[in-house]
Amino acid sequence: MTGIKDTNVHFHQELEDLERKVLSMVERAEQMVEMAVQSVITSDLDLAERVVTLDDGIDSTYLEVHQDWTSLMARNQPMGSDLRRMTTLIQLNATFERMGDQCVNIAKIAQLNEGLPRVERICEQIREMGDLVRPMIRTAVEAYLRRDLDEARLLPAMDHPVDRLNANMYKETVAVRDNPELLEWATKMLMASRALERVGDQAVDFGEQTAYLITGERAEFDEDGLAQALNEDTDN
Amino acid sequence: MTNETSTETRVDRVIEERKTTDPQTQVESDSATGSVPGVIETKDMSVYYGDFRAVADVSLDFGRNEISALIGPSGCGKSTVLRSLNRMNDLVATARTEGQVHYHGQNIYAEGVDPVEVRRTIGMVFQKPNPFPKSIYDNIAWGAKINGFRGNKSEMEDLVHEALVGAALWDEVKDKLGDSGYSLSGGQQQRLCIARAIAVKPDVILMDEPCSSLDPIATLRIEELMLELKENYSIIIVTHNMQQAARVSDKTAFFNVKLDDSGMRTGRLVEYSPTEQLFTSPREKDTEDYITGRFG
């Protein structure tokens, strides 16, 4: 950057502040995934309540980001990588807000399942899904921060086992169909599994946003993490 | 549990680190501009004022019925390029153009080409509205007459009407065609100049910062007019306003100032791309730096 003078210092500072604010949401969401999973498999209602409280914080940041973003756009009409960063941030704002909502869904299942019998195998599977999803969020954050397209492309492969475990939950639920109380509990755990699977998808979406930020091309990752529209550029 | 404090510190740290490294993203986009067949094409065009080379080696292809914008910092040569496209620079004694400028395949700088005819076919609207010190009607009629219009009174009235309608000015002036052109507002005067330009039936209209002396509302009216005019004309506009280029143009050429081998500051074409691409994912780092306000 030698010799380059930033004549847009105030805007770039505000953009950076906005980015920090948006990323603070995903940091919180990652923490909430762990707390929500823990609450649902141990029936820890206090922990579940803390998840709901943390989500209130995410919702409030979501609204602040919207306001800041609108003001920045109106005042600056950014272009080039600044414009891509702005469009990425507003999309990530929605993605992270939904991640928080999924965690609340899981925490609420902890409350709904209170007092019901449980199946350890299913609890272990939910724990495993949580253990798979959190590194996905971490990977997506790192890929974004370092503008690392290769790292972003790891996400679909990381999501495969989450999808597989979610699909297996249906079988586990059917397996307890003869016990009404267990079936009630397992059906709700199926919803928790589905919520975790969605968080995994949202982490992949985060990676796709990062790919757009880097390349300027909108594309969805395919199963191998190679976005269709990006293949030609990167394989050459 | 995830340690919130430490992860936020990580975010802060990486953002700080990024500031000290080059944050530019690697954009590898299709360089095709998707042009429709060109109306004006420059080949290795350089323009000199005496010994000073103002702009060097410009090769551009301007599309038919398109709006092409020329942007760049002061002194980058964009207005010089524009004025070379209809030989307006011939009027500057020290100016000299090298290379070629083709209009529908014909070199307008070739021997025997009449520069007045070139300027009639490739008209120009200037930065500051410059109506003649005559009535609104005569601003159109007189301009047409000196450019060879030989019709009768009725045909002239039709021409004035057509030009004023074409410049979206008719409704505002139809009851005061005898008033002085100077009695109009700045925005109306500029549209009068556009009417005068289109009255001589040009093929291409060059616009040199046509809105720089106008307020935002008058600016938007001119921009709307440009979008209407491109149905029938090809338009090339120099603008300092990047948002204006982004709003109205189909393709944008970005010029920058570079030091040449002898240390002279010379304007160079950096990138010519579809406007949407240039303002969202430019191919060149220089373009990216300029449109994001990083400049040096």
Chain B residues with a Cβ under 8 Å from any Cβ in chain A:
1-2, 4, 7-8, 10-12, 14-15, 18, 22-29, 242-243, 246, 277, 279-282, 287-289, 291-296
Domain range summary for chain A, segments of one domain joined by +:
9-228
Residue B143 banded pLDDT, cuts 50, 70, 90: confident
pLDDT given at position B23: 39
d(CA A151, CA A213): 14
- Summarize pLDDT for B44-98 with one digit per residue, the tens: 999 999 999 999 999 999 999 999 999 999 999 999 999 999 999 999 999 999 9
User: pLDDT at residue B182 above 80?
Assistant: yes
Taking all residues of chain A, what is their mean pLDDT, rounded to a whole number? 92
d(CA A55, CA A60): 8
B280: nearest CB among A12, A19, A83:
A83
- Summarize pLDDT for B83-129 with one digit per residue, the tens: 999 999 999 999 999 999 999 999 999 999 999 999 999 999 999 99
pTM for the whole structure: 0.81
Contacts of A34 in chain B (CB under 8 A): 1-2
Query: Mean pLDDT throughout B167-187?
Result: 95
In this structure, are residues A40 and A106 in contact, taking their beta carbons and an 8 Å threshold?
A: yes
Chain A residues with a Cβ under 8 Å from any Cβ in chain B:
1, 3-8, 11-12, 16, 19-20, 23-24, 27-28, 30-31, 34-35, 77-84, 134, 141, 145-147, 213-217, 233
Q: Tell me the residue ranges of DSSP E strands in chain B.
A: 38-49, 52-63, 67-71, 95-103, 106-107, 122-125, 204-208, 234-238, 251-259, 265-274, 294-295
Q: Do B280 and A84 touch (CB under 8 A)?
A: yes
Q: Do A79 and B292 touch (CB under 8 A)?
A: yes
d(CA B256, CA A122): 64
Pick the CATH number of A9-228 from 3.40.50.300, 1.20.58.220, 1.10.10.10, 3.40.50.20: 1.20.58.220
Residue B260 banded pLDDT, cuts 50, 70, 90: confident
User: pLDDT at residue B32 above 90?
Assistant: no
d(CA B193, CA B178): 16
Contacts of A217 in chain B (CB under 8 A): 29, 281
Q: Do B25 and A146 touch (CB under 8 A)?
A: no
d(CA A227, CA A153): 8
pLDDT given at position A128: 98
pLDDT given at position A144: 97
Percentage of chain B beyond pLDDT 90 is: 77
Percentage of chain B beyond pLDDT 70 is: 88
- Summarize pLDDT for A137-192 with one digit per residue, the tens: 999 999 999 999 999 999 999 999 999 999 999 999 999 999 999 999 999 999 99
User: pLDDT at residue B14 above 90?
Assistant: no
A80: nearest CB among B12, B29, B292:
B292
A8: nearest CB among B27, B281, B293:
B293
How many helices (H) does chain A have, and how many strands (E)?
8, 1
User: pLDDT at residue B24 above 50?
Assistant: no
User: pLDDT at residue A233 above 60?
Assistant: no
pLDDT given at position A2: 47
Taking all residues of chain B, what is their mean pLDDT, rounded to a whole number? 88
User: pLDDT at residue A106 above 90?
Assistant: yes
pLDDT given at position B20: 60
Q: Do B293 and A28 touch (CB under 8 A)?
A: no
B25: nearest CB among A79, A214, A233:
A214
Q: Do A82 and B292 touch (CB under 8 A)?
A: yes
pLDDT given at position A228: 57
pLDDT given at position B36: 52
In this structure, are residues B49 and B79 in contact, taking their beta carbons and an 8 Å threshold?
A: no
Q: Do A27 and B11 touch (CB under 8 A)?
A: yes
A233: nearest CB among B28, B243, B287:
B28
d(CA A21, CA A66): 11
Domain range summary for chain B, segments of one domain joined by +:
30-128+204-291
The two three-digit tokens of residue B6, written as one number? 């430490």
User: pLDDT at residue B155 above 80?
Assistant: yes
Pick the CATH number of B30-128+204-291 from 3.40.50.920, 1.10.150.300, 2.60.120.1140, 3.40.50.300: 3.40.50.300
CA distance B9 to chain A (A): 10
- Summarize pLDDT for A68-99 with one digit per residue, the tens: 999 999 988 999 999 999 999 999 999 999 99
d(CA A134, CA A30): 6
User: pLDDT at residue B28 above 70?
Assistant: no
Interface confidence (ipTM) of the complex: 0.76
CA distance A38 to chain B (A): 10
Q: Do B288 and A83 touch (CB under 8 A)?
A: no
Query: Mean pLDDT throughout A211-231?
Result: 77
- Summarize pLDDT for B209-247 with one digit per residue, the tens: 999 988 888 899 899 999 999 999 999 999 999 999 999
pLDDT given at position B173: 97
- Summarize pLDDT for A16-40 with one digit per residue, the tens: 999 999 999 999 999 999 999 999 9
